[in-house]
Structure 1
Amino acid sequence: MIGQSIRVGRIRGIEVGVHYSWFIIFFLITLSLTTRFASEHPHWSLAEHYAVGIATSLLFFVSILLHELAHSLVALAKQIPVRSITLFVFGGVAQIAREPDRPLTEFQIAIAGPAASALLWVGFGAAAALAGHRFEHVAALAGWLSSINLVLALFNLLPGFPLDGGRVFRAALWHFTGNLAKATRIAARAGQVVGYAFIVFGIWTGFTVNWFGGLWFAFIGWFLLNAAQESVLQVSVRSALTGLTAEDVMSSECATVAGDRSLGDLIEREVLRTGGRCFLVSSNGRIEGLVTLHQVKTVPREQWSRTPIHAVMTPLDRLRVVGPETAITEVLQMMERDDINQVPVTRSGRLLGLITREHLLRVIAAHLEFGDRPPVRAPR
């Protein structure tokens, strides 16, 4: 999601971004708060209504950021990398690089977010009480933020994955069953139930109370439903690939082209005839790097005939490589994290094969089609 976001900075090495959809909800919340404050405090000026509304809306999203940051800091303390935090239309999400290694760690990471929101509920509530009538603007701002942080904490504690409460539920199931995949499936099914419940409640609210509120509840339910379904798919993929290594999946028949050939020749004689999208580049029998169709497209078409392949290739020493014994789940995580489509497999500096995203997706599809079963290793 961070790729579709505006980067706003880094906190403890974690990249923080604002998704484009955030501006929609920021505008709607600001408008709603301005209307609310105008109704509750008609003696304020128009400028005061908008100023307090905008400030409250901004602090609301700061609260969400602190909620996600709490998850992230606990994950970092447990030596689990965190890729990014992104604010978007439905709140925020912290992208943690890998699953926790034990149920207690999962519980600690999950509960940190609601705990942070609960602390903000108490903190803003105390600020509102202290402000009183002397600082009416602060009291109004802090009062609303206190209430919304309580709602945020309680909502996230619903026992449906991937909500925080669903992760706590998964941690408990994992502890009692000893099986993360099974725990994830059950917790995700609970998440789907919660999603459907929100959709039904949203439809009912839309027809009987308020169409906009109902629509919003239905959208939240739709989001939870899709997130839960995606979680089931992800755990199925991880389960299907468990036990496979880079050596099992790599292709040892990689097309090789000479680096002094032109890009035009590569397209004409290789790409259009074989459909290949990436090629190893050699010179005097030695592998020098890798060239992809994406790299070729960065060069204007009229320059293809006079641009050699080695001018656009990625040198071998700059490629992300893995050893043959590397778990394929780690290779998949690396592809997703670094947004790469090809990973060479090497041993002692010698190229053994290549793993492409396209081939890996076919392997995943085959394992999902025939069920989760231990991989059968062919003799080499």
Structure 2
Amino acid sequence: MTESQQRSRPPGTLKIGEIGGVDVLVRSSWLVVAALIAFMLAPAIEAVEPGIGNGKYVAGVAFAVLLYLSVLLHEMSHALMAKRFGLPVRSITLHFLGGVTEIEGEPDTPAREFVVSVVGPITSIGVGVVFLLLHPVVPDGLLRLAVDALAGANLVVGVLNLVPGLPLDGGRVLRAAVWGITGNPHRGTIVAGWCGRVAAVLVFLFPLVQQPVTGRPAIPTDYILAFVIAFFLWSGATQAILSAQVRRRLPALRARQLARRALAVPHDLPLSEAVRQAQEAQAGSLVVLDVDGHVSGIVNEAAVLATPEDRRPWVAVSTVARTVEPGLQLDADIAGEPLIRAMQRTPASEYLLRERDGAIFGVLVTDDVDRAFAATT
């Protein structure tokens, strides 16, 4: 079983395939989109194909599939560029308002952030131009209608995604620009997030001025759509701002400074004696050595406290230790976001810290990290 198969899918999503090791998921809300697109295109389809009957709805759903395949191209361009820069890509999810590419971590330079962000809109605009070029060579009728609609839709998606506000791609482009100018990625996120909030307000108010702009008065569905899009933009922008405010406090978290001194004890030593030796040595944690003298486990503090004192002389210290998996061994100099990501990848209550030469530096306790983070607020 591959790693992507082992990952659990978010509720309400269906995996439809895998491209380059990246799961492609579809949210159940897409069915609503397909039905809505089929309903809205039905009159135009019937106009170019008189007598098509209920086939107009089938054709509308087929168009919705083609449209979301072009959205998939947009998201795949993000994914491929991210992977080119060494960033793991977990999944691509197609949803009601388009798609999202889940990338683990972020580009390490403003230039890479710019490229990963801008490649999606460029792809959509490129697809739209290709369909525009096909217009003169396709016959009149349903095929030309599909080509024209796909051209317009992709051009709109590409241009709108360049609006400089998070969570749109243009917001990440703006973030990269501010990051490059100020040298502060968190400031870039906050600026782009506030621009995203402004964009959300403008979208929400657009139906009020729609008639002078488009020549068509707003109808109830215009207000509903504007509200949905504005809510999506405002929520994404707000989440980005809050995330930046949290993440700019992360550099203060340094594993070396938060580590507890560790005492190494034999695996068969009675727990009571191990605790006594740790107290005598003023060590805050215990690590267990196997018969060859190698570290085999980290003693779990909660398990020690849960063991009654009258039983501790009869319990081997190894019975309250967690095996040291690769994810539980961290570089003693790890700090900030890399530290948090490492802890998120392998959740645990204790981690073994090692020096570059492999020597044991100490044990990092998750509760200590949480308290240190809370103290930075």
TM-score, with length taken from structure 1 = 0.73
Moved over 6 A (4+): 203-206, 251-254, 279-286, 289-293
Residue type of the alignment partner of 2:332:
P
**Partner residue of 1:110 out of 117, 123, 142:** 117
Q: Secondary structure at the match of 2:249?
A: helix
Q: What is aligned with 1:82?
A: 89
Using the alignment, how far apart are the partners of 1:33 and 1:190 within structure 2? 33
* Superposed CA RMSD: 3.7
Using the alignment, how far apart are the partners of 1:251 and 1:205 within structure 2? 63
1:280 CA displacement: 9.5
User: For residues 273-352 of structure 1, what are the structure 2 equivalents within 5 Å?
Assistant: 288=297, 315-317=323-325, 319-336=327-344, 338=345, 340=347, 342=349, 344-347=351-354, 348=358, 352=362
Q: Secondary structure at the match of 2:248?
A: helix
User: For residues 1-380 of structure 1, what are the structure 2 equivalents within 5 Å?
Assistant: 2-4=9-11, 5-39=13-47, 41-47=49-55, 49-133=56-140, 136-201=141-206, 209-249=218-258, 288=297, 315-317=323-325, 319-336=327-344, 338=345, 340=347, 342=349, 344-347=351-354, 348=358, 352-356=362-366, 360-367=369-376, 369=377
Using the alignment, how far apart are the partners of 2:374 and 2:170 within structure 1? 31
Cα gap change, 1:320 to 1:220, in 2 (>3 Å): farther
Cα gap change, 1:284 to 1:345, in 2 (>3 Å): closer
Residue type of the alignment partner of 1:223:
F
Question: Contact 1:289–1:315 (CA<8 Å) still a contact in 2?
Answer: yes
Aligned residues between the structures: 326
1:297-327 Cα offsets, whole Å, 9 max, x none, are: xxxxxxxxxxxxx99x974336543232212
Higher Rg of the two aligned structures: 2
Cα gap change, 1:43 to 1:173, in 2 (>3 Å): same
TM-score, with length taken from structure 2 = 0.74
Question: Contact 1:251–1:355 (CA<8 Å) still a contact in 2?
Answer: yes
Using the alignment, how far apart are the partners of 1:234 and 1:40 within structure 2? 50
Q: Secondary structure at the match of 2:167?
A: coil
Cα gap change, 1:126 to 1:229, in 2 (>3 Å): same
Using the alignment, how far apart are the partners of 1:317 and 1:178 within structure 2? 37
Using the alignment, how far apart are the partners of 1:24 and 1:281 within structure 2? 55
Where structure 1 has 5 or more consecutive residues not aligned to the other structure, the ranges are 260-278, 294-309, 370-380
Cα gap change, 1:292 to 1:145, in 2 (>3 Å): farther
